[in-house]
Structure 1
Amino acid sequence: MFKKILIANRGEIACRIIRTAKRMGIKTVAVYSAVDKDALHVDMADEAVHIGPPAAAESYLVIEKIINACKETGAEAVHPGYGFLSEREAFAVELAKHGIVFIGPNPKAIAAMGDKIESKKAAAAANVSTVPGYLGVIEDEQHAVRIAEEIGFPVMIKASAGGGGKGMRVAHSKAEVLDGFKLARAEAKASFGDDRVFIEKFIIEPRHIEIQVLGDKHGHVIHLGERECSIQRRNQKVIEEAPSPLLDPETRAKMGAQAVALAKAVGYDSAGTVEFVAGQDRSFYFLEMNTRLQVEHPVTEMVTGIDLVEQMIRVAAGEPLKFAQDDIKLNGWAIESRIYAEDPFRSFLPSTGRLTRYRPPHEGPFEDSVIRNDTGVFEGGEISIWYDPMIAKLVTHAPTRNQAIDAMAHALDAFAIEGIQHNIPFLSALMQHPRWRSAKLSTGFIAEEYKDGFKVQHPEDEAARIIAAVAASIDFISTRRRRLISGQIVGRPIPVDPFRCVVFEKDLEFHVKVSEVGGSGTEAEEWNVSLLTLRGREQHTYRLASFWKPGDLVWRGTIDGVPRTAQVRTVPNGFKVSYRGVSAVTFVYNEREAKLAALMPQKKGPDHGKELVCPMPGLVVEIAVKVGQEVKTGEALCIVEAMKMQNVLRAERDVTIKTIKAAPGDSMAVDAVIMEFA
């Protein structure tokens, strides 16, 4: 077994590999760019080597620098994680030349399956069902249009060397092919150093299902069941689960057997993933093979109990697999939510900055489930523009799918992040979505269910009552604390008025009475909270119990005996409470204060109607218009790149360009003015 390995990656996957290596008694070496010098993976590793400036093309993608780091530290093997050099045949070859072991498949398997075009050719040769498409070299945009018209719309434009949703576009028309081909090539070049793309038929209402395979250097290959990754945005996976709610045992066996046959045909000898696009009728077609560890591998680990990183290391060291196909059993259900630094209320645009608060939920058992959080960040750390915006991967495992979903909803409510925007509100809302919960999925789910984008979810019905009850109870605690500090009346604390008026932003109001039941010190405090809605005059009473104290970012407790969690932030005269994807600012007053507050004028935000402002921190790649030009609704104004993704900013109405305040190459902050309209 190896004594020391180097991880040629960064972020959460580097940290995740380091954890397994340490458990196995293997020393670890981290590499880092200038912007990552204080990163968590650098702190966790036994040694760390600086490999260059922030741009991946000058650091994490430079093979020579990785090899020099191995020589400098005496690392015997390299684990590439995912992305960067993980699917580069040249990397594995160069490591071998220097006597360094690549913890991944052999170069021939990478060449056969790592390239998306070559993998489809190999799959076709092995009689694996493939999606109709064009696998040759596409010369230019017009060639791409001719191919698309021959295949028939819609088509998928994909980076040959790609993965992770980068360099991928769906086109429904000639115009979209022209636009998508250019953008896909640019993203492919920026992310993988290879601008080749191919085109294939896009399956209507498809589901994305993948089979995890595992092979050793002795000819043994097995599969570890499937994962479904149909919840995607811009072809980037957002939610993954194992097993798939679509498959039955017969289809699972067929897909698994096909994946194993393909892996054996190319002599595969590590962890890898054979991806399929599936129809709602359980028909399936080979999509591609990822010759590396997948981002979503934790859900497979949770349902099989097998550490995939450990198996990759053992296989690379020449050990045979210690289990056969019949030994693999799927236990329960696992769900993974990808926590991203992006603003779901602004079209999921990337967000950068410092994590002023980073408090993930407690890992380990929770009721009948288990919570796991794979992360590469820490409180006080920086989210930069240079790399993927992933903050963490939150995973829950439970006996059933519904239990895993409920555990995820709880864990998301307990995940406190401040300093940047993040997608937890969207993930929390999605956990309550009836279509998601009923498993009626497709890769178009987000586009179909959120056609106008994700909006703030306003409280209604039980969610509104629970938020009001939590707000009233924590206001009671806060007020009691202030009274204790203020003084006493004749030797006893100043009493706290049990009556409150909880007012929501959207003209929703409750009259509340909070009755303290008991509990203190080591016992949770308990209250009866009675709510009377002013509309309908319905009355509800809840029993709350919690250890919450002023300053806590998360309210944890029980409501009528059921564990509940909510995010809490203090605002003037009240609290912002987020629960199950619903977020509301609640103002807590006595009745006289509520009447006076209703007379206060509402503050209006700035008017950006005559400006194009940058919606995220990023780099201006192209200005598509000129001063004085008349632009129609929907036409491109400029392209801004952030976190390796190119974002086209379009006119929201007919405008005339008055001034242009930015140029290609400029770095823009959020809400910086790019151009003004007449």
Structure 2
Amino acid sequence: MFKKILIANRGEIACRVIKTAHKMGIATVAVYSDADRDAVHVEMADEAVHIGPSPAAQSYLLPEKIIAACKETGAQAVHPGYGFLSERASFCEALEKEGIVFIGPKPKAIKAMGDKIESKKFASEAKVSTVPGWLGVIEDADHAEKIAGEIGYPVMIKASAGGGGKGMRIAWSKAEVRDGFERARSEAKSSFGDDRVFIEKFVVDPRHIEIQVLADAHGTALYLGERECSIQRRNQKVVEEAPSPFLDAKTRKAMGEQAVALAKAVDYQSAGTVEFIVDKDKNFYFLEMNTRLQVEHPVTELVTGIDLVEQMIRVAAGEKLGIKQSDVKLNGWAVESRLYAEDPFRNFLPSIGRLTRYRPPEEGTFGDIVIRNDTGVAEGSEISMFYDPMVAKLCTWAPNRLAAIDAMSQALDSFVVDGIEHNIPFLSALMQHPRWREGRLSTGFIAEEYPDGFAPVAPDGDERAVFAAVATAIELLRRDRLDRLSGRLAPHSGHLKRDWVVKIDAGYLPVEIVDGMVSIPMEVDLSIDGGKPLTVASDWRPGDVIWQGTVGGDSIAAQIRPALNGLRIAWKGMSVIARAMLPRTAELERLMPEKLPPDTSKMLLCPMPGLVVSIAVAEGQEVKAGETLAVVEAMKMENVLRAERDLTIAKLNAKPGDSLAVDAVIMEFA
């Protein structure tokens, strides 16, 4: 077994590998760029080596820097994680020449499966069911348009060396093929240093289901069940689960055996994933093989009990797999939510900044529930523009699917992140979505259910009552605390005023204190808007970010933030401004004028911090609705900003190459 390994990656996956290596008694070496000098993975590793400037192309993507770090530290093997150099055969070969072991498949398998065009050809020759498409070199946009017409719309344009949703576009028309081809090729070159793309038929209403395989150098190859990865946004997976709520035992076995056959055909040795598109009739088509550890591997680990990173290390060290196919059992259900640094209320555009507060829910086993959080950040960490926007992977396990989803909902409500915008509100709302809870999924789920983007979820009557109950409980404690600090024997010390009003956003709810005493822990009975009394119980203390307790017997975890004239309370993807007050105060507040936001309808604002790639218009130019105005790049993704209506350009305030803050004015309209 290895005594020391180097992790050629960063962030949560580097931390994940380090944890298993330390469990196995193996010393670890981290590598880091300028931006990651104070990163968590650097602190966790036994040693760390600086490998260059912040851009990945000048640090993490340079094989010679990784090899030099191995020689400097005496690392015997390299685990590549995912992304970066994980599927580059030339990197594997360069390591072999230096006598360093690559913890992953051999170059033959990487070459055969790592390139999406070559893998399609190989799978077709191996009689694996594949999606119709064009696997040759596409010369230009005209050629792409011709191919798409022959295949039939819609089509998918994908980067050959791609992954993570980058360099990928769906085209429904000729115009979209031309634009998508250029965008996909540009993103592919920027992200992977390879601008080749291919085109294939896009299966309508597909499910994205993948099979985890594991193989050693002694002829054993297994499949460890499947993962459902259909909840995607812009072809980027957002929520995954294992097993799939769609597959039956027969289909699972057929997909698994086909995945193993493909792995054996290329003499695969390590953990890998064979991805399939599955239609509504359970017909499945080979999509690609990822010759590396997948982002979503934790859900497989939770339902099988198998540490995939440990198995990768043992296989790379030449050991035989200690398990047989008959040993693989799927136990319970696991769900993974990817926490991204992005603003769900601005069409999920990237967000960067420092984590002023970062407090994940507690990890561990709690009765029938398991909570796991794979992360590479801590409070004070900076989310930069140079790398992927993923902050953490929150996972829950339970005996059944709905229990795992409910556990995820509670865990998300308890996950505190301040300093950046993030997608927890969306993930929390998704956990309550009826279609998701019923398992009626497709890769178009988010686009279909949120066609106009994700908007703040408005609470219904019962949910407003919960917000009112929490706001009242907090206000009672606040007033009692102030009375005690001032030394006054006020009405709130020992007994309560009976009548209150809670303002929730623009609405008002009357609240009556039926019974109870103010104390910690608190337990009071409230009648909200004339309804049946609800018992509110909590040991919350002023200053706590999470209000944990019960309302009417239901467990509640709500996040509390101070807001102007009240509190911002977030729960289950909903967020309201709430204020509990006495009836006379509420009567006077109703008379206050409403402050209106400024008019920005004649401006194009930068939707996220980023780099201006191009400006597509000139001052005085008339533009039609839907035409491109500018392209802004953030976190390796190019974002096309289009005109929402017919307009005339009055003034350009930015130029290509400018780095802009969020809401910076790019141009003004007449």
Fold shared by both chains (TM-score > 0.5): yes
Q: 2:526 corresponds to which letter in structure 1?
A: V
Partner of 1:528: 525
Partner of 2:145: 145
Q: Secondary structure at the match of 2:507?
A: coil
Q: 1:603 corresponds to which letter in structure 2?
A: K
- Contact map agreement 1:117 1:198 (CA 8 A) in 2: yes
1:549-593 deviation line (CA, Å, top 9, x unaligned): 111111112234432211111223321111111111112110011
Give the drift of 1:513. 2.0
- Contact map agreement 1:573 1:589 (CA 8 A) in 2: no
Q: 2:12 corresponds to which letter in structure 1?
A: E
CA–CA separation in structure 2 for the residues paired with 1:490 and 1:590: 15
Partner of 1:598: 590
Partner of 1:559: 551
Give the drift of 1:517. 5.0
How has the CA–CA distance of structure 1 residues 490 and 174 changed in structure 2, closer, same or farther, with 3 Å as cutoff?
closer
Listed as ranges, the matches of 1:437-516 within 5 Å are 437-489=437-489, 493=493, 496-513=496-513, 515-516=515-516
CA–CA separation in structure 1 for the residues paired with 2:491 and 2:279: 74
1:384 aligns with 2:384: yes
Listed as ranges, the matches of 1:56-455 within 5 Å are 56-455=56-455
How has the CA–CA distance of structure 1 residues 640 and 377 changed in structure 2, closer, same or farther, with 3 Å as cutoff?
same
Q: Secondary structure at the match of 1:488?
A: coil
CA–CA separation in structure 1 for the residues paired with 2:498 and 2:138: 72
Partner of 1:643: 635
CA–CA separation in structure 2 for the residues paired with 1:424 and 1:492: 36
1:33-67 deviation line (CA, Å, top 9, x unaligned): 10110111111111111111111000000000000
TM norm structure 2? 0.98
Partner of 1:535: none
Q: 1:104 corresponds to which letter in structure 2?
A: G
Q: 2:283 corresponds to which letter in structure 1?
A: S
- Contact map agreement 1:342 1:351 (CA 8 A) in 2: yes
How has the CA–CA distance of structure 1 residues 212 and 287 changed in structure 2, closer, same or farther, with 3 Å as cutoff?
same
How has the CA–CA distance of structure 1 residues 512 and 138 changed in structure 2, closer, same or farther, with 3 Å as cutoff?
farther
CA–CA separation in structure 1 for the residues paired with 2:376 and 2:67: 24
Identical amino acids, percent of aligned pairs: 66
Give the drift of 1:493. 4.4
CA–CA separation in structure 2 for the residues paired with 1:555 and 1:7: 39
- Which of 542, 545, 562 does residue 537 from structure 2 map onto? 545
Misfit runs of 4+, over 4 Å? 490-496, 517-520
- Contact map agreement 1:303 1:330 (CA 8 A) in 2: yes
* Number of corresponding residues: 670
Give the drift of 1:672. 0.6
CA–CA separation in structure 1 for the residues paired with 2:536 and 2:332: 31
Partner of 1:670: 662
CA–CA separation in structure 1 for the residues paired with 2:498 and 2:107: 71
1:461-520 deviation line (CA, Å, top 9, x unaligned): 221111111111111111111111122239994865343211111424232426435764
1:575-622 deviation line (CA, Å, top 9, x unaligned): 111111111111211001101111111112222111111000000001
CA–CA separation in structure 2 for the residues paired with 1:636 and 1:496: 61
Give the drift of 1:259. 0.2
How has the CA–CA distance of structure 1 residues 119 and 490 changed in structure 2, closer, same or farther, with 3 Å as cutoff?
closer
Q: Secondary structure at the match of 1:378?
A: coil
Q: Secondary structure at the match of 1:142?
A: helix
1:635-669 deviation line (CA, Å, top 9, x unaligned): 10000000000000011111111111111111010
TM norm structure 1? 0.97
Partner of 2:603: 611
How has the CA–CA distance of structure 1 residues 512 and 182 changed in structure 2, closer, same or farther, with 3 Å as cutoff?
farther
Q: 1:43 corresponds to which letter in structure 2?
A: E
Q: Secondary structure at the match of 2:162?
A: coil
1:571 aligns with 2:563: yes
1:220-245 deviation line (CA, Å, top 9, x unaligned): 10000000000000000000000000
Partner of 1:13: 13
CA–CA separation in structure 2 for the residues paired with 1:96 and 1:479: 69
Unpaired runs of 5+ residues, structure 1, are 533-537
Q: 2:248 corresponds to which letter in structure 1?
A: D
Q: Secondary structure at the match of 1:189?
A: helix
CA–CA separation in structure 2 for the residues paired with 1:279 and 1:540: 48
Q: 2:637 corresponds to which letter in structure 1?
A: M
- Contact map agreement 1:278 1:284 (CA 8 A) in 2: yes
How has the CA–CA distance of structure 1 residues 508 and 437 changed in structure 2, closer, same or farther, with 3 Å as cutoff?
farther
Q: 2:522 corresponds to which letter in structure 1?
A: E
CA–CA separation in structure 1 for the residues paired with 2:504 and 2:181: 47
1:15-48 deviation line (CA, Å, top 9, x unaligned): 1111111111111111011011011111111111
Q: Secondary structure at the match of 1:167?
A: strand
- Contact map agreement 1:475 1:574 (CA 8 A) in 2: no
How has the CA–CA distance of structure 1 residues 403 and 494 changed in structure 2, closer, same or farther, with 3 Å as cutoff?
closer
CA–CA separation in structure 2 for the residues paired with 1:166 and 1:594: 51
Moved more, 601-610 or 427-436: 601-610
- Which of 618, 622, 625 does residue 626 from structure 1 map onto? 618
CA–CA separation in structure 2 for the residues paired with 1:434 and 1:562: 19
CA–CA separation in structure 2 for the residues paired with 1:514 and 1:60: 62
- Contact map agreement 2:494 2:518 (CA 8 A) in 1: no
- Which of 635, 644, 652 does residue 660 from structure 1 map onto? 652
- Contact map agreement 2:476 2:492 (CA 8 A) in 1: no
- Contact map agreement 1:272 1:291 (CA 8 A) in 2: yes
CA–CA separation in structure 2 for the residues paired with 1:2 and 1:264: 26
- Contact map agreement 2:479 2:492 (CA 8 A) in 1: no
Q: 1:143 corresponds to which letter in structure 2?
A: H
How has the CA–CA distance of structure 1 residues 492 and 192 changed in structure 2, closer, same or farther, with 3 Å as cutoff?
closer
Q: Secondary structure at the match of 2:394?
A: strand
How has the CA–CA distance of structure 1 residues 429 and 508 changed in structure 2, closer, same or farther, with 3 Å as cutoff?
farther
Give the drift of 1:424. 0.4
Partner of 1:22: 22
Give the drift of 1:365. 2.2
